[in-house]
Each structure stands twice: as structure tokens, then as C-alpha cells.
């Protein structure tokens, strides 16, 4: 029998430290072997795992620090800001995260700040990738409202070689700590559903490399999500022809409890 990974163990802790996982298994997005169900008892939510920030965080830990720039606190992240200009092209997407503070019995994470970033339609990260080092689009910070909700307006990210389509984010206890660019309570990633990815990449020819890259990766083989993705897989409604609404409930544990997930089954370094 395979030993349970430390990341998978997070599934057995909810708001009170003991969320009950519902019996049964659900098939993976790409037809891979079943993973533990994400269902929990009423009033509890699973802790989302700690993940790598990758090499392009823009938070000062590896190169530029966009968090200390005036204008980073914004809902619409499709445009660059400050001394940069430019607009990320692609299928419109609204992303809503509902934060639950598991250190406080799963109450709404009101006042928490989320820094979110992802690649563009061509698979490039602003501030880092060739051709967009003079852009800072697809990066921004929002503060959770009384319901613990943050909302970003963006474009759907590409699938680039070696990684499943995803979105990066960091959670801070307050806006003050976020814009100081230090002491993130949680760093994680959001996985996007396969069916939606296929629809987007077929709809917009600007994602020309994504279908080929998608054919070479799965959630099960991804080096971040490969050890389990239940808590990180978003729900999507809408269509590429109009707009997509992406949602995820994020259980935020104490920083000391955010054990880094086990690595996936292989491939290039996580990004």
C-alpha cells in the first residue's frame, strides 16, 4: 500500500482540524486514477495545500517585486500599470476566490489580501519572459470583503510546455503585509478544468501552442497537481464566446500548518 503523502493528509483537517472526508472516490479530470473526494461535512472546508511560487512570482523572492508598486491593488489585472503599458489579450475571465480562515474555525477570511498572477495567452509571465519584461499585467492584489471574497478580472491563461493550466496566488493576513512584499501566509496554485481549457484553446487562435502542450500533460502527470488536486480544482461557468466565471473556495490554514506538497510524478521544475 502506498504511504499517504503529507499533502494528501491535509485533506483530513478542516476548520476544527478534523474535517470528515466523504466516502467514495471520484475520477480525475483526465481519466487518471481516482483521488480522495473533496466533499466535507457541512461547515468545514479542506485546507488548500502549500505549493511552489515558481520562478516568476514578482513578489521580491526571485527578482522584481510588484507588490511594493503603487497601483498593484486592483481588480482588473488585464492591463499593465504604473510606468508600464499594455493589455493582455485572450478569453475574458472573472476569478472569484472565497477565503475561509481555518485558524478561526473556518470563518470568512475578511480583510485577508490575495496576490494573484498567471501567464498570458502565449504562456509568458510579465516582468520575466522574453517580449514582456516591460509589462506587469496579469498581476494584482485584492482585499477580501466581509464575506471573505476577492474577485479579479483577467484573461484565461495558456497551457505552456510541461505544466497543466494554472493560476498562482499568495494569501496574506492583511493588505499591509501584502504590499510590504513579505510574510505570505499561504502560497498555492489553482488548477483549471480540462473541458474548459479545451474549449478556450479551440475558440481563440491566439492560444495556438496550448492544444499541443495540453496533449502532453495531465493533472495526474503534472509536477504540482500530480499528488492530488481536489482542493485546487476550480469550478467554471460561462463560455469562451462570452466570458468565463472561475470560482474556488480556499481554506487557509495557519502558516505553520502549511506543509509543502509532495512533488508530482516528474517533468520539468514547477513553474
Burial pattern 169-196, b for ≥16 Cβ within 10 A else e, equals: bbbbbebebbbebeebbbbbbbbbbbeb
For residue 19, what is its C-alpha cell? 474535517
205 phi and psi angles, rounded to 5 deg = -65, -10
**pTM for this one?**
0.84
Cα 117 versus chain centre, distance: 8
The predicted pLDDT at position 1 comes to 32
Place of cell 492544444: 211
CA distance 66 to 33: 39
Q: How far apart are CA 2 and CA 128, in angstroms?
A: 39
Cα separation of 240 and 91, whole Å? 6
The pLDDT assigned to 260 comes to 65
- pLDDT the model gives residue 257: 87
Residues of the chain with pLDDT under 50: 1-42, 264-269
Q: HSE-up of 194 (CA within 13 Å, CB side)?
A: 16
Residue 152 pairs with which residues in a beta bridge? 95
Place of cell 501566509: 185
Q: What is the pLDDT of residue 37?
A: 32
Amino acid at each position: 500500500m502506498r504511504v499517504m503523502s503529507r499533502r494528501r493528509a491535509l485533506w483530513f483537517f478542516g476548520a476544527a482540524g478534523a474535517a470528515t472526508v466523504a466516502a467514495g472516490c471520484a475520477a480525475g479530470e483526465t481519466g487518471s486514477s481516482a483521488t480522495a473526494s473533496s466533499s466535507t461535512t457541512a461547515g468545514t472546508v479542506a485546507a488548500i495545500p502549500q505549493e511552489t511560487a515558481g520562478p516568476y512570482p514578482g513578489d521580491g523572492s526571485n527578482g522584481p517585486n510588484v507588490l511594493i508598486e503603487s497601483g498593484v491593488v486592483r481588480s482588473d489585472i488585464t492591463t499593465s500599470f504604473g510606468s508600464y503599458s499594455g493589455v493582455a489579450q485572450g478569453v475574458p475571465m472573472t476569478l472569484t476566490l472565497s477565503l475561509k480562515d481555518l485558524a478561526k474555525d473556518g470563518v470568512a477570511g475578511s480583510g485577508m489580501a490575495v496576490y494573484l498572477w498567471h501567464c498570458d495567452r502565449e504562456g509568458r509571465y510579465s516582468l520575466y519572459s522574453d517580449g514582456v519584461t516591460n509589462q506587469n499585467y496579469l498581476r494584482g492584489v485584492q482585499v477580501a470583503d466581509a464575506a471573505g471574497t476577492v474577485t479579479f478580472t483577467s484573461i484565461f491563461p495558456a497551457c505552456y510546455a510541461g505544466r497543466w493550466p494554472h493560476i498562482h496566488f499568495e494569501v496574506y493576513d492583511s493588505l499591509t503585509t501584502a504590499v510590504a512584499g513579505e510574510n505570505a501566509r499561504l502560497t498555492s496554485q489553482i488548477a483549471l478544468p480540462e473541458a474548459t481549457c479545451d474549449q478556450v484553446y479551440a475558440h481563440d487562435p491566439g492560444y495556438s501552442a496550448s492544444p499541443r502542450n495540453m496533449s502532453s500533460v495531465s493533472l495526474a502527470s503534472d509536477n504540482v497537481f500530480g499528488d492530488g488536486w481536489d482542493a485546487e480544482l476550480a469550478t467554471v461557468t460561462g463560455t469562451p464566446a462570452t466570458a468565463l466565471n472561475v470560482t474556488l473556495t480556499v481554506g487557509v490554514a495557519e502558516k505553520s500548518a502549511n506543509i509543502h506538497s509532495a512533488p508530482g510524478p516528474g517533468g520539468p521544475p514547477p513553474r
